[in-house]
């Protein structure tokens, strides 16, 4: 009887171990307040910690001299390796119209970044479009692009209205972005909305992985805080 009991106990223990190993691993969440430069790699930008509307934040602005062929300012998280999950950040984008009269304060999130920023998926806001009196401009409030082969203007020309849409944005205000990424799909949520304002079903870099970070157009004063990344892989 003792032998049978021991065998049953051993079988139960093995089954419990198998079941535990087959369960999905817990989500891994990393947070950066972005109130210091620690852990960040910056590219083509003047980066500093500044205070905006009472909040200490990462400030990206144009460097004294920049590569005219590169319109992206980037701050990447050192050592990050992201495939699927959720990226959240609070962002402000203020256009520098003296540099570009057509600037809208473009700022957002990059993910699956490769080759030191040469390749990346990018989801961003055009804050001054959100409450424009021009409906067409409103329709261009949020945007997806994939660098370098699928910039926004190519996507707009080849697939009008598919990779950009409207959401309410208050220019100059802190705006919360959340991007959910799974395989070749991404969804953007703004300011805690329960439904996405932009759905992308064919991320152009495919089912890839890479660094994560924040992005702004060169003619922008951009502020970022409270970066939070949840991995599901």
Which domains occur in the chain, in start order?
27-231 (2.60.120.560)
The 3-state secondary structure of 161-201 reads: CCCEECCCCCCCCCEEEEEEEECCEEEEEECCCCCCCEEEC
Give 10-residue mean pLDDT values along the chain (233 residues). Answer: 40 38 63 97 97 98 82 96 98 96 96 97 98 98 98 98 98 98 98 98 98 98 98 85
* Angle made by CA atoms 129, 147, 196, in degrees to the nearest 5: 45
Report residue 135 as tokens: 């409906």
Could you give the C-alpha distances from 159 to 108, 145, 194, in angstroms and in order?
A: 21, 12, 26
pLDDT of amino acid 218: 96
- How would you label 103-134 residue by residue, b for 16+ Cβ within 10 Å and e otherwise? bbbbbbbbbbbeeebebbbbbbbbbbbbebee
Phi, psi of 14, rounded to the nearest 5 degrees: -60, -45
pLDDT of amino acid 233: 67
Evaluate whether 130 touches 168 at the Cβ level (below 8 Å). Answer: yes
DSSP-derived 3-state class of residue 135: helix
pLDDT of amino acid 173: 98
pLDDT of amino acid 118: 95
Please indicate, yes or no, whether the overall pTM of this predicted structure exceeds 0.85: yes
pLDDT of amino acid 114: 98
Tell me 115's DSSP state. T
Q: Which residues are paired to 144 by β-bridges?
A: 123
Evaluate whether 175 touches 94 at the Cβ level (below 8 Å). Answer: no
């Amino acid at each position: 009887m003792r032998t049978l009991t021991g065998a049953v106990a051993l079988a139960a223990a093995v089954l419990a171990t198998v079941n535990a190993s087959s369960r999905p691993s817990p989500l891994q969440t990393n947070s950066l307040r972005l109130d210091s430069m620690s852990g960040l790699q910056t590219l083509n930008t003047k980066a500093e910690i500044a205070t905006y509307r009472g909040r200490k934040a990462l400030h990206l602005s144009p460097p004294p001299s920049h590569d005219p062929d590169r319109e992206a300012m980037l701050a990447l998280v050192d050592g990050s390796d992201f495939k699927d999950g959720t990226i959240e950040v609070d962002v402000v984008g203020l256009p520098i119209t003296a540099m570009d009269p057509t600037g809208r304060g473009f700022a957002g999130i990059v993910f699956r970044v490769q080759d030191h920023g040469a390749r990346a998926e990018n989801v961003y806001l055009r804050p001054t479009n959100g409450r424009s009196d021009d409906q067409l401009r409103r329709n261009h409030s949020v945007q997806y692009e994939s660098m370098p082969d699928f910039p926004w203007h190519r996507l707009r020309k080849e697939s009008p209205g598919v990779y950009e849409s409207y959401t309410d944005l208050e220019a100059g205000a802190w705006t919360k972005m959340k991007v959910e990424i799974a395989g070749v799909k991404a969804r953007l949520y703004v300011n805690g909305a329960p439904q996405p304002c932009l759905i992308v079903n064919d991320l152009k870099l495919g089912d890839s992985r890479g660094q994560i970070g924040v992005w702004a157009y060169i003619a922008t004063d951009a502020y970022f805080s409270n970066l939070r990344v949840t991995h599901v892989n």
